[in-house]
Structure 1
């Protein structure tokens, strides 16, 4: 118990770091995932090919390798001086976007084809049909898998601790290296992760409930 109270600032910084990294990465993954799914269902063949390549490549690439590329290639070739948090967000967001894309695409496939055909018969463009007709109906189906994806993202953020980011894994490693009781350290870190994952799960359950009421 003393491990927590004696090192509360470190646990607090690690918790806030994980929370911030998860939030930023989730926002990036959601934006990229919706953009890529629009490419995947687009009537334009080059866009479909790009979307397919994006999903296939990122889903089959180890996340650690993406971190290595983000930290040792991106700053050297593209954006020198980029902060570790930005690079970690980029790696996590791009990786998770592939899973978000497939979850949203599965939801789109549950919307009857006649809905899109009716929209096109009214003169709506592809982007209008997707934004106003298809995605709103697919949202109910998409929420449960998205909840699981973002919970997995929270746990994946632990890799960022090995790349100069202040988050829970980094804090636990630092405290254990000082010779503190590793059992208590892991207990408090696990509880911090549970708080975040339960909050994500609760938020998505609330959204599902709201959509059910709206229906």
Structure 2
């Protein structure tokens, strides 16, 4: 293999006061920030939709089901382009968005796209968690005098979240991996910084090995955190319980 390995390229000067390693760290920070922001959106919207999917009212359930079918069946890249190119033209405050600096526009579009896309998947996880509980739990809450919202808040959701920690972990991991599509609208996240490093240094193997390792660090951290949460919230007699 006629290739000149040069691991010192990361410490070479990139643009005055920055090295190429600084570029990768900047991309890592952007990936983590957009991923965490999108996860908060996905968890909130997905939880609300998951509850709506299990409500006895067919109209409420139908609205949530429609959301899931739309966002789950349109490719993520198409949704990203809609958020970035189309939504600023349709929203009444679209001019304010278009006057933001490019990074803010790209970050906002990527965050909202990943958040709303993943919310459809979280919705189904929450719905399955609630539906896996015995019906007697809902009836017991209502019999105790709780309203239906209170029954969800104090009885059903605390148990459902404990059951769905493993599948939620997969969605949490996916949101960081899916963030790479934001590079198509110019957001310099981790994958984009890796490609930019290759363009400037012509050292593709070093660049993408480093990017791969950083993604593994993100995933390993998420796995450890979620495994800790799963252990702390485990309920005996249910999935993962002792």
The answer, yes or no, to whether TM exceeds 0.5 is yes
Look up the SS of the partner of 1:169 in the other structure: helix
Structure having the larger proportion of residues in helix = 1
Query: Using the alignment, how far apart are the partners of 1:109 and 1:71 within structure 2?
Result: 36
Match of 1:40 among 53, 71, 86: 53
Q: In the superposition, relative to structure 1, how do residues 142 and 162 fare at CA in structure 2: closer, same or farther (>3 Å)?
A: same
Aligned to 1:110: 132
Contact 2:47–2:122 under 8 Å retained in 1 = yes
Aligned to 1:73: 86
2:16 corresponds to 1:3 = no
Contact 2:162–2:233 under 8 Å retained in 1 = yes
Aligned to 1:184: 206
| Alignment gaps of 5+ in structure 2 | 1-6, 13-19, 98-104
CA apart distance, 1:39: 1.3
Aligned to 1:167: 189
Contact 1:4–1:188 under 8 Å retained in 2 = no
CA apart distance, 1:57: 1.1
TM-score (norm 1): 0.95
| Alignment gaps of 5+ in structure 1 | none
2:150 corresponds to 1:128 = yes
TM-score (norm 2): 0.85
Q: In the superposition, relative to structure 1, how do residues 14 and 142 fare at CA in structure 2: closer, same or farther (>3 Å)?
A: same
Aligned to 1:146: 168
- Residues 21-54 of structure 1: per-residue CA shift (max 9 Å, x gap): 1100001000010011121112222211110001
Look up the SS of the partner of 1:34 in the other structure: helix
Greater Rg over alpha carbons, structure = 2
